[in-house]
Amino acid sequence: MTQLDLTEESPYLNLLEESFPKIKANILRCEKLGFPWKSIPFIKEENGEIVSHVGVLEYPLQINGKQYKTAGLHAVQKVGKVAKRALKEAMSPLSSIHRQLDK
């Protein structure tokens, strides 16, 4: 996986900042203090510009003594679209996977 640019000029952080004010400063501050940004980003680019983002966070679970790796989506956004529509678009590939598993 490519290392993300987590600097003041980062297009990725600038996109997050549009929907989540002050997150950029908080991410940069935490990085400097040794607490890395653990989100796994799925980014879409058009004409060299980031236009959408879906972050994935890993959540390890223990159920009845057995370990499971799970994940959750967060920071879903798309330039010029509301989050609900962006989330629906982000989830659409997952629904086809779910249908495959049900067969």
DSSP string computed for the chain: -PPP--STT-HHHHHHHHHSTTHHHHHHHHHHTT-----EEEEEEETTEEEEEEEEEEEEEEETTEEEEEEEEEEEEETTB-HHHHHHHHHHHHHHHHHHHH-
User: Sorting pLDDT into bands at 50, 70 and 90, what band is 1?
Assistant: very low
4-28 pLDDT, tens digit each? 778 888 888 988 888 889 999 999 9
Tell whether the model's pLDDT for residue 89 goes beyond 80.
Answer: no
20-77 pLDDT, tens digit each? 899 999 999 999 999 998 888 888 888 888 888 888 999 999 999 999 999 998 888 8
- What pTM, to 2 d.p., does this model score? 0.64
pLDDT score recorded for residue 27 = 94
pLDDT score recorded for residue 30 = 94
